[in-house]
Amino acid sequence: MSTEIDFREVEEKLQDIIGGSVPARVLADQFMRLKKGFKPTALHRACTPSDGILLLSDELKDQLLGSYETAAREGRFTKFVPSSGAATRMFKFLLEFLKTGHKNFDSATDCDESYLEMGRTFISSLPNFAFYGDLKEVLQRDNMKLDELLLQGDYRTVLEYLLTEKGLKYSSSPKGMIPFHGAEEGTRTPYAEHIAEAIEYVKDKDGKIRLHFTVSPTHKAATEKHIAEVLSKFPELNFEITYSEQCRKTDTIAVDLNNEIFRTDDNKVLFRPAGHGALLVNLNELNADLVYLKNIDNVVPDNFKADTIEYKKFIGGLLVQFQKQIFDCIHRLKTPGLTEMEVAITALFVVSKLNMTLSDNFGSMSLFGKAGYLISKLDKPIRVCGMVRNQGEPGGGPFWVVGSDGFISPQIVEKSQVDMNAPDQVEILNSSTHFNPVDIVCGLRNYCGEQFDLMKYTDPETGFISHKSKQGRDLKALELPGLWNGSMADWVTVFVEVPLSTFSPVKTVNDLLNDEHRNL
């Protein structure tokens, strides 16, 4: 049966389900993706220092600071923070314990032992968390004392007041609004820490600081109120804060494990958010020039910020320098008096500095054929991505990848994209020396100062199929190409090593007990 016939059958099925309210052709494509899956990404080799990852010398750092400072003064930088996610996964091990109905960890024999051990660490360390005071206060409201509950071993009550509607509701709150750190003013949330960071490297000559946060519609009002309170502590500064919500049109259908359309208990077709790749729409609509991109949970207190701020300036300066060189090359290639020497110099720059490969027939092209070809390689969005030394963290890393066109290019690849049944691919994956901390700065305008349409530079073949559950039933969910994976696959990409001290994510609440999250 041909793909076209398959699509027609699926379209008819979907039209019957949704009554024509959503473009059935789009949903049919999603359905077929879920059914057939995606081809694994073809790894060629891992990116390593001097082979795809740039190491910054002290001399180069001095040059980069100058380039960064000029662009910063001109107000070219904006900070973009994907922050619409809830804190549920951060507290997963505690929520799993609550499901057992037990009072304390010792009696919860039906819970995963690793979760129980993490729970014991959490409870014994409660005074060290920034939200300790808030938890005591919310318990006192209902005439309970935290110390007494802990002494009695009533951990269930403590956790219910921390995580549920009974108290602080942290499990359903945005991750950006959980108190992470202590500070002179009391506590700081990730939102507050991102703002404190931005003051140090996004401020222009007029004192304006531009930040953009993606937010959940459910928590938008609370988020805006919280950020307004944070900004009130800096009355002398001029902030330009903007918000956006993940576009619901990017939601995707789900199927059960038999590849049938998943229906909820009330017989509705389930649509799910399509992962952080859906935020490419938000980035595309930002109308910004140079954009720092960083995850909401990768923040530290002020006493640990120095390296982060310094390297943000370095990678920002590196982007400015590469972008200027690219624009100069394009202008030169469009000049009527173009020479073979100028084309050769540009080709060398493309290969040696931007990690691109040229077509086998490049040498046989005419002068202006070569120029047009090089312009097509250069006239794209650009990103400089910081990479840290691999410490065994789960997640993506930098690799040389064989694209569908046969060309090899540097890409950020997740483990889920790799064929784990192919020994050679597993060997390349395990040989990776660096990890992607999502420390990226992007150039979103072309050599004429016009905005790129970022939707044109994605690789739709790099989406994900993840296994989730809904109402106690397993399902397969379709995720769009990741924001820094396939969504930026056709960008000009440069990887640079940054120190591990710039990467301090909080994936579970116990990560807040690490030294880098303490105000020592």
Q: State the pTM of this model.
A: 0.91
Q: Which pair of structure tokens corresponds to residue 96?
A: 């799993």
3-state secondary structure 56-92: CCHHHHHHHHHHHHHHHHCCCEEEEEECCCECHHHHH
- Domain range summary for the chain, segments of one domain joined by +: 3-34, 37-87+177-337+340-517, 88-172
Tell me which of 3.20.20.70, 3.90.550.10, 1.10.1240.10, 2.40.30.170 is the CATH number of domain 37-87+177-337+340-517: 3.90.550.10
Q: Beta partners for 494?
A: 384
Cα dist from 364 to 228, 359, 367, whole Å? 60, 10, 9
Contact 417, 464 (CB under 8 A): yes
3-state secondary structure 260-317: CECECCCCCECEECCCHHHHHHHHHCCCCCEEEEECCCCCCCHHHCHHHHHHHHHHHH
Cα dist from 149 to 98, 145, 410, whole Å? 16, 6, 54
**DSSP string covering 462-509, please?**
G-EEEEEEETTEEEEEEEPSPTTTGGGTTSEEEEEE--GGG----SSG
Residue of 307, 302, 410, 406 whose CA lies nearest to 361: 406
Task: Please count the other Cβ atoms lying within 10 Å of the Cβ belonging to residue 9.
Answer: 13
pLDDT tens sequence for the chain (520 residues): 333 334 555 555 555 544 444 566 777 788 888 888 889 999 999 999 989 999 999 999 999 999 999 999 999 999 999 988 888 999 999 999 999 988 888 888 888 899 999 999 999 999 999 999 999 999 999 999 999 999 999 999 999 999 999 999 999 999 999 999 998 888 999 999 999 999 999 999 999 999 999 998 899 999 999 999 999 999 999 999 999 998 777 888 888 888 888 888 888 888 888 888 889 999 999 999 999 999 999 999 999 999 999 999 999 999 999 999 999 999 999 999 999 999 999 999 999 999 999 999 999 999 999 999 999 999 999 999 999 998 776 678 999 999 888 899 999 999 889 999 999 999 999 999 999 999 999 999 999 999 999 999 999 888 888 888 788 788 888 888 889 999 999 999 999 999 999 999 999 999 999 999 987 5
End-to-end CA distance of the chain: 66
Cα-based angle 393, 246, 317 (whole degrees, multiple of 5)? 60
Task: Please count the other Cβ atoms lying within 10 Å of the Cβ belonging to residue 475.
Answer: 19
3-state secondary structure 385-450: EEEEECCCCCCCEEEEEECCCCCEEEEEECHHHCCCCCHHHHHHHHCCCEEEEEEEEEECECCCCC
Distance CA 97, CA 166 (A): 17
